[in-house]
Structure 1
Amino acid sequence: MKQISTKITAFILIAIFLIACNAEKRVPEGKKLLTKNKIIVNGKSITDENVFTQLYQKSNSTLLGYRLRLNLYNLANLNPDSTYQAKFTNHPGKYERKSKWLSAKQVDRLGQSFWYKGIHEFLKKTGEPPVIIDSTKTLKTLQRLKYYYFNNGYFNIQASSTLDSIKPKRGAINYTITTGPAYLLDSIKTTISTPALDSLYTTNQVNTLLKKGQQYKTIDFDEEKNRITTHFRNNGVYYFQPTYVTFDIDTINKVNQAAVNLIINDYSYQDKDSTKTAPFKIYKISDVNIFTDYAPNTNHQKITDSITYKNFNLYSRNKLKYKPQAITDGIFITKGSLFADSKTVLTTRYLNNLKIFTYPSIQYEVDKRDSTNTSLIAKVYLTPRKKYSFGASFDVTHSNIQDIGIAFSPQLTIRNVFNGAETLSISGRGNIGSSKDLANPNNQFFNVSEYGVDLKLNFPRILMPFSTEKIIPKSMIPSTLMAVGFARQTNIGLDKENFTGSFSYNWTPKKNNTARFDLFNAQFVRNLNKKNYFNVYSSSYDALNTIGKTYNTNDTYFNNLTDKDLIIETGTKGFTSDVLNDLTALTSTDTDYKSVKSIEERRVRLTENDFILATSFSFSKTTKTDLQDNTFYLFRTKIESAGSLLSLVSNAAKLPKNADGNYELFNLEYSEYIKTEFDYIKHWDLTKEKVLAVRTFFGIAIPFGNSDNVPFSRSYFSGGSNDNRAWQAYSLGPGSSGATNDFNEANMKISLSGEFRFKILGDLKGALFADAGNIWNVYDNVTDEASVFSGFKSLKDLALGSGFGLRYDLSFFVIRFDFGFKTYNPANESGKKWFQEYNFANTVLNFGINYPF
């Protein structure tokens, strides 16, 4: 009986699938489903996406050739309310019977439930109705195609369409276009009525977008209008607009050539009931008035305080709360200069960047005091934000360390702290989390906790004892940031206290470029629970314990004489000391002796307190214009030097060195290294919501002088949801060593990633990806050949992971699941590096927020 019911269920599911796969299910009689559009231009079939966007009708979307959304739509009941009511109409008395054990109200609501109605609404919304061939839309498409080619210089176009009947209810449309030869620009002349504009145009004529001999394109003419308008409005022509630029195109008695006459008429304005014209005027700024506490949407604007500072007039309804320079530094509109849109934009950007005002408003009015009517008064309206503002965030997070974390972050912002537009931010953070990768002897779910506080004071200028205007002008919107912070981690490995302090300068050399110079960035990390080392780094303990069972002769180091496991910490410490002091059978040439020495060196390195005093410079450049831009690149680089200044001072002062030959500061060896990074991201929009994204990264940190290794906090790791997704974080490398440690890190990293993103249906997106990369040790105290980068031959240790991902777009962020498969594992023995773990049993599931790059 069970087998029969299973077969019946399978038969029903197959029948439903087959019905849904009937693409013509909802195509009316006498109509045809559009299956394909074919565009033939001058005898050749084309696939240019720019041409296909002209179509009024496109066939239903497909996923790998399958019309998934159309078939989902065909599964839906388009009139679920009528179907539900028909159940009772066709079976009299059924409604009354149901109402006896369900109320009438509940029976009615049942028809609105997900099973009866909601599922069909979902299928309709997610699905896609069939595209029915419409002759009217076909004619509109022909006209649109003609316009497209006409706008690209083909003035003698012939276009037609034919319908191919593939099946009784299916059809394809063929569009045939004959363009003829393209028209080229011939002579280009100008007719500019206002002499001042004619002269102004000549000064920038070399940058014209219209060149003799180039193919006619309407877009070039539109962009030339905008270019001329920008040039004029940045040179005092206040009333100029693109509509004043027109073109006379002459193709009469010319063979595939067009003569162009660029025409700019005089200024046109309304005087009572008549329209008059006059030559354009070039305007200068006669006054700059700044209203520092403007109250919008109110008539109460009485001025009670004012001051004139460097030709700027500052007004306030109450007592002026700002140092004049703090405001005027951000005003690029100056008295006596020409009106310029660019200065208006730059002023707005600067003032908005202060974050002490709402978005500023800048208006101009003709100065009636000037009899020539060629002067403008600039009025800058500033509405202050509240001096104090409080905010808080509550987040559920996922990271490389925490499987799940719950964080709470309150923040207090104080604006205009010293009346110089400064901003002080005081923020706290508290976090509890769970991590299966950390030592957890009590088996607690929340085994990670952290709390901390940060203070950041921002000055909207470069704080230097000398002027930096010639090096970093105020047009680059410079700022100075002072920051101090404290954080304490408990129940997370060794437990740490982290003290930080920094003094940095920020500026934007050009639009979409950012630069940062950290004059100093200090960090002190203190480990609070060093005795917990071998509980955290269990692989190191296992390796040491295995050697101890063979060579340890001190029974007090064992937990018992049966298991012979080294006691943490007395046993591990004692046995290591015996080995390194030659109190066991091991000698310095033995492999196990070297292993114990290596384990101890790593323990000392990861448990010692770190002090880092670094100076760094960072630069980034991007071509991304907005969140919808899918064709852009992003370049970031950073160079950091740590400890060099301290060594210079120590050497000059002839300070003594410790037993290891290193300088100390407060009885602590400070770190000394140089580090550099390069990060490049490129996106290509392949249209139809398909994007190809590529990322390359290279980083290296070289210890020297006072250090023979790089601090853990400044080293690199590989693997994780934003790196090589076929490996978990810290579980790849170094080199071909096989990730023998619990948290594997090194001081050099190479990473390359590629990802093809595409739409599946609705807000659900998919991706295919490949990640290559690894970490290595170089120029430090690690001697293991498998972990060390020794030239180009080490590139054979680049690990390769590939896989697929699912992403759901929630508008404000993207939820991401990536499934990574180890494609090439350099840690495997020769002959078993490729595809040995390429299966779902060894897949790595990554959860992330937003795209990996």
Structure 2
Amino acid sequence: MKKNYHTYFRYLFSFGVASVALSCSNTRYLKEGQMLYTGAKIKIENDTLSKNEKKDLQTALEANLTPKPNSSFLGLRPKLYFYNIAKEPKKEKGFNYWLKYKVGEKPVLLGDVDREFNKDIIENYSENKGYFNAKATYDTVSKNKKAQVIYTLRPGARYLISNVKFQKDSSLVNQEIQNLTGKTLLKAGKPFDLDVIKTERERIDNGLKEKGFYYFHPDNIIVQADSTVTKSHNVELNVKLKDNTPDLSTQQFSIDKVIVFPNYNIQDVKNGKYKIPMEADSLQKYAHEDIYVIDPQNKFKPKIFDRALYFKKGDLYNRTNHNLTLNRLISLGVFKFVKNEFIVSDSLQNKFDAYYLLTPRELQSLRLEALGRTNSANYAGSELNLNWTHRNFFRGAEQFKASVYGAFDVQIGGPENAKNIFRAGSNVQLSIPRIVAPFRFNSSSAFVPRTNISLGYEFQNRTEYYTLNTFTGSFGYNWKENARKEHDLKIIDITLVSPANVTDLYKQYAQNSDALQRVVQKQLIFGPTYSYTYTNTMLPKTNTMYYKGTLDLAGNITGLVTGANAKKDKEKEIFGIPFSQYAKIENDFRFYHKFNEKTSLATRFIGGIAYPYGNSEFIPFSKQFFSGGSNSVRAFRARTLGPGSFDPRTINDGFYFDQSGDIKLELNAEYRANLYKFLNVALFADAGNIWLVNDDPQRPGAKFSKEFLSEIAVGAGFGLRLDFSILILRLDLAMPLRIPYYEKNDRWAFDKINFGDSNWRRDNLVLNIAIGYPF
């Protein structure tokens, strides 16, 4: 222990010396009279503000100051160092140019700082926040060719709102403004804040847009502040329409005609404005509800526009229906561009026509994909996909997709008996942009609900072992409440697995393994599945999250009707095939924290359980959980981890097969950083395992028990991510830190790490090559 202490001390001392040297080395490149700007500090002198108020004001002010000093890490400025050591390049390319101007960072000097400008920013910002008597000064502190600017702010007392008046008059627009005052953001007793006033003007504008005032603008409202009519440090606000508000902004408009051009050519845009097609001069009503569809080629059924358009003749204009209509037209998936124009048709009655100018996408596409891949289970292979898509199959924006594919995976190392795998199959999908059901489904969402139907077949051959024929089919619905919440309900989801050509060799291996025997048993799985997804990761927030919960119920009603009980009687069959009965739930929760534009922390938790009952003693192999691999615990090869503390090395003299379980727990954390444009790095740690619900004598330690925490596997590693926009190539190198099938008191592997040993590296370093992020 003493030896380790001295070793750590030497490392710390060396780091400290290097830090000082690197820090000093940056200033020696400065010219005579130049000083490196190290940043600004703001001091606030005010006895009436609380500690938190001072901190919030200080943070906001510092964020507005310019320029920012050179970026630093642990007190060092490595980017500035690279800029200094790189020679001035002769051309705008090459290693020196890349090192100096792409990796490096030009020094920010004291001479670059406009201190008077920053002082004005501090005073103006403070006044906008209610500190009307704010005064600022500045001073410069320099030492060893480094300079810091210290700004001192004396904000005085903050002005509070004493009263808010909404000026009244007899106009219609004013009456509507008065109806909006109940939810005003301007409250007596609250501090004066210019940002809140701007938000209040936008709130009023949004409210008026819902009442037909299409041409209104937030700038039509003025908020007057008077600090002379009340006691000291108080201000009275008066909200009113500007005297020069255009008359058009005060008029309430309604819809006259709704006109749709579903074959509009985007090239007709001239000088940034859309040209209304001439066909509008001789309209013919193609659909009910006073919607006119100008479609001479009859490419689209007019009924799809009845469901997508929220405006009808006589409706008062409102922004909600305006945006909902545009979003629903886009979510149909058949239009590449969607443009909306409102043109006044009757100025006396304040009516305008709503034009929808829609540019369709290519209705059909054929795509051929060739993929090469490798995985941590020692397989490499290729896949060929041919996909045909029709986006308007029955002229109602129905999307029809058909694909055929073939793939092979060749063993390139690892277990001797893993063998090669060949897959081929096809599937068809039809997505209808409405809910096809005997009941009425009303959705006010911006997203069109869909009915999805799919059929598929896959042939899988595991060389020298067996062949599996898998048939799938499903019917269900998908709908989104909003951009964050999505539901996917499959009323029926059917899977039929039919094995063939099971070889004597496989039967020999499976003779003493129930798990291997179940892989080649006929399986009939049917029932409803439901998943709910919530995400706000698309928002520009520091903290975002993603959650997906899935519920899978197979054979439940059939099992109840037939009185199935596999533990007491023979399994019930349909068409000579036992049907599966189980309940399965899985939860996937992810949390993302953004430190800045280039660094972030991503975490994920997965928890799931599948419980067999009634007609089944076991969960079908295809529906079980797996662990290990490029998107799981990356220090263990794909599908080799678990279940529990079971040791996979004991299987039939090295015979390899996927390890599966009924329970899964997994936790991942990943620190991500951008180094240069397309080059990203990550440090990650993964922990997790799978378990069985019931005992398996052939896999001791596989059942879930109170000892499950001691059976958690842990791994960590380093990754490179090459972001080429069209795809992200990921390379993750991981090693196990905790191995659950070792002896209970010897599962942590820190003392076994030996990078100098080639045998250790071969057995413990796992390279995962994948496309996209793991989560």
TM-score (norm 1): 0.78
- Cα distance in 2, alignment partners of residues 313 and 649 from structure 1: 50
- CA distances 1:643-673 after superposition (whole Å, capped 9, x unpaired): 123334545xxx9999961111232212111
Q: Which moved more, 1:628-637 or 1:712-721?
A: 628-637
Which structure 1 residue ranges, 5 or more long, are not aligned?
A: 1-14, 82-111, 270-276, 533-567, 577-598
For 1:692-731, list aligned pairs within 5 A: 692-731=601-640
**How do 1:511-522 residues align onto structure 2 when only pairs under 5 Å count?**
511-522=483-494
Q: Which residue of 2 aligns with 1:383?
A: 359
**2:332 maps to 1:354:** yes
Displacement of 1:739: 4.2
User: After the TM superposition, which of the residue ranges 340-349 and 183-192 deviates more from structure 2?
Assistant: 183-192
The one-letter amino acid of 2:645's match is S
Match of 2:704 among 768, 789, 795: 789
Give the secondary-structure state (helix, strand or coil) at the position aligned to 1:307: coil
Instruction: Tell me if the contact between 2:202 and 2:218 (Cα under 8 Å) persists in the aligned partners.
Output: yes
Q: Secondary structure at the match of 1:647?
A: helix
Is the contact between residue 72 and residue 124 of structure 1 (CA under 8 Å) also seen in structure 2?
Answer: no
Q: Go from structure 1 to structure 2 and tell me whether the alpha carbon gap of 1:54 and 1:234 turns closer, same or farther (over 3 Å shift).
A: same
Residues 655-664 or 679-688, more deviating: 655-664
Q: 2:376 touches 2:768 (CA, 8 Å); kept in 1?
A: no
When residues 482 and 149 of structure 1 are mapped into structure 2, their CA distance, relative to the original with a 3 A threshold, is same
Amino acid in structure 2 at the alignment position of 1:61: S
> Contact 1:20–1:72 at 8 Å: present in 2 too?
no
SS of alignment partner, residue 548 of structure 2: strand
Give the one of 164, 182, 205 matched to 1:229.
Answer: 205
Deviation, structure 1 residue 279: 7.5
Structure-1 residue corresponding to 2:438: 465
* 1:760 CA drift (Å): 4.2
The CA deviation at 1:210 is 2.0
Code of the residue aligned with 2:164 in structure 1: it is: I
- Output the CA distance in 2 between the equivalents of 1:683 and 1:190: 43
1:335–1:605 Cα change, 3 Å: same
Change in Cα spacing, 1:521 to 1:160, as seen in structure 2 (3 Å) is: same
**CA separation of 1:498/1:267 partners in 2, compared to 1, >3 Å: closer, same or farther?**
farther
Change (3 A) 1:808 1:415: closer
1:367 aligned counterpart, secondary structure: strand
Moved more, 43-52 or 793-802: 43-52
**Correspondence for 1:833:** 747
Q: Which residue of 2 aligns with 1:579?
A: none
Number of the residue aligned with 1:285: 255
1:246 and 2:246 are equivalent in the alignment = no
Quick one: which amino acid aligns to residue 358 of structure 2? L
Q: Which amino acid aligns with 2:426?
A: V
Match of 1:178 among 151, 154, 170: 154
2:769 equivalent to 1:847: yes
Residue 412, structure 1, aligned to residue 388, structure 2: yes
Name the counterpart of 2:126.
149
Is the deviation greater in 838-847 or in 711-720?
A: 838-847
* Alignment partner of 1:365 is 2:338: no
Q: CA deviation at 1:762?
A: 5.0
Higher mean C-alpha displacement, 380-389 vs 513-522: 380-389
Partners of 1:769 and 1:61 in 2: CA distance: 24
Q: Does 1:733 align with 2:704?
A: no
Residue in 2 aligned with 1:10? Answer: none
Q: Does 1:508 align with 2:480?
A: yes
Spell out the pairing of 1:439-838 with structure 2 (5 A cutoff). Answer: 447-469=420-442, 472=443, 477-491=448-462, 494-531=466-503, 568=505, 576=511, 599-625=512-538, 630-648=542-560, 650-651=562-563, 661-687=570-596, 689-740=598-649, 742=656, 743-761=658-676, 763-779=678-694, 786-791=701-706, 793-834=707-748, 835-838=750-753
For residues 85-112 of structure 1, give each alpha carbon's deviation from its aligned partner in whole angstroms, at most 9, with x where no partner exists. xxxxxxxxxxxxxxxxxxxxxxxxxxx9
Residue 206 and residue 735 in structure 1: after superposition, are their counterparts in 2 closer, same or farther (change >3 A)? farther
How big is the shift at 1:712? 1.8
Q: Is residue 132 of structure 1 aligned with residue 109 of structure 2?
A: yes
Whole-angstrom distance in 1 between the partners of 2:768 and 2:353: 59
Q: Could you tell me whether the CA contact under 8 Å between 2:493 and 2:527 is conserved in 1?
A: yes
Are positions 1:71 and 2:81 aligned together? yes
Q: Which amino acid is the alignment partner of residue 75 of structure 2? A: G
* Distance in 2 (alpha carbons) for counterparts of 1:777 and 1:409: 36
Deviation at 1:435, TM superposition (A): 4.1
Contact 1:709–1:780 (CA under 8 A) maintained in structure 2: no
Q: CA deviation at 1:352?
A: 1.3
Contact 1:56 1:138 in 2 (8 A): no
Pick closer, same or farther for the CA change 1:762–1:364 going to 2, 3 Å.
closer
Take 1:21 and 1:731, find their aligned partners in 2: how far apart are those partners? 52
Q: Which residue of structure 2 lines up, in the alignment, with residue 536 of structure 1?
A: none
Quick one: distance in 2 between partners of 1:382 and 1:570?
A: 61
Task: Kindly indicate whether the alpha-carbon contact (under 8 Å) linking 2:566 and 2:615 is maintained by their aligned counterparts in 1.
Answer: no
Cα 1:231–1:523 shift into 2, 3 Å: same
**Deviation at 1:479?**
0.8
Alpha-carbon spacing, 1:311–1:413, altered in 2? closer, same or farther (3 Å): same
Secondary structure class of the residue paired with 2:557: helix
CA displacement at 1:266 relative to structure 2: 6.4
Distance 1:401 1:800, change over 3 A: closer
2:30 to 27, 32, 42: 27
- TM-score under structure 2 length normalisation: 0.85
Backbone CA RMSD of aligned residues: 3.4
**Residues 358 and 528 (structure 1), Cα distance of their counterparts in 2 relative to 1, 3 Å cut:** same
CA distance in 2 between partners of 1:214 and 1:315 (Å): 53
How many angstroms does 1:711 deviate by? 1.4
What is the percentage of aligned positions where both structures have the same residue? 27
The answer for the alignment partner of 1:39 in structure 2 is 42
* Contact kept? 1:305, 1:317, Cα under 8 Å: no
Provide the rounded CA distance (Å) in 1 between the counterparts of 2:745 and 2:637.
24
The 1:786/1:433 distance shift into structure 2, 3 A limit, reads closer
Is contact 2:134-2:154 (8 Å) kept? yes
Change (3 A) 1:331 1:608: same
Q: Which amino acid counterpart does residue 259 of structure 1 have in structure 2?
A: E
Describe the superposition over 1:336-380 as per-residue Cα deviations: whole angstroms up to 9, x where unpaired. Answer: 221011111111111111122222222112222x63x32221112
Does residue 258 of the first structure (1) align with residue 235 of the second (2)? yes
* Contact 1:267/1:278 (8 A) holds in 2: no
Q: Secondary structure at the match of 1:78?
A: coil
User: Are the counterparts in 1 of residues 36 and 107 from structure 2 also a CA contact under 8 Å?
Assistant: yes
The alignment partner of 1:671 has SS state of coil
Q: What is the alpha-carbon distance in structure 2 between the residues aligned to residue 737 and residue 442 of structure 1?
A: 19
Structure 1 residues 462 and 165, CA, compared in 2 at 3 Å: closer, same or farther? same
Match for 2:456: what amino acid? G
Q: What do residues 478-499 of structure 1 show as CA deviations (whole Å, max 9, x unaligned)?
A: 1101111122233467443322
Matched letter for residue 426 of structure 1: A
In structure 1, the residue matched to 2:293 is 315
Q: Is the 8 A contact 2:664 2:689 kept in 1?
A: yes
The 1:739–1:415 alpha-carbon spacing in structure 2 relative to 1, beyond 3 Å, is same
**SS of equivalent residue, structure 1 residue 309:** coil
Q: Aligned in 2, Cα 1:527/1:635: closer, same or farther, shift over 3 Å? A: same
Q: Is the 8 A contact 2:166 2:178 kept in 1?
A: no
**Deviation, structure 1 residue 459:** 0.7
2:182 to 183, 206, 218: 206
> Aligned-pair distance for 1:837?
4.4
Q: What runs of 5+ residues in structure 2 fail to find an aligned partner?
A: 1-17, 269-274, 756-760
> 1:583 maps to what in 2?
none
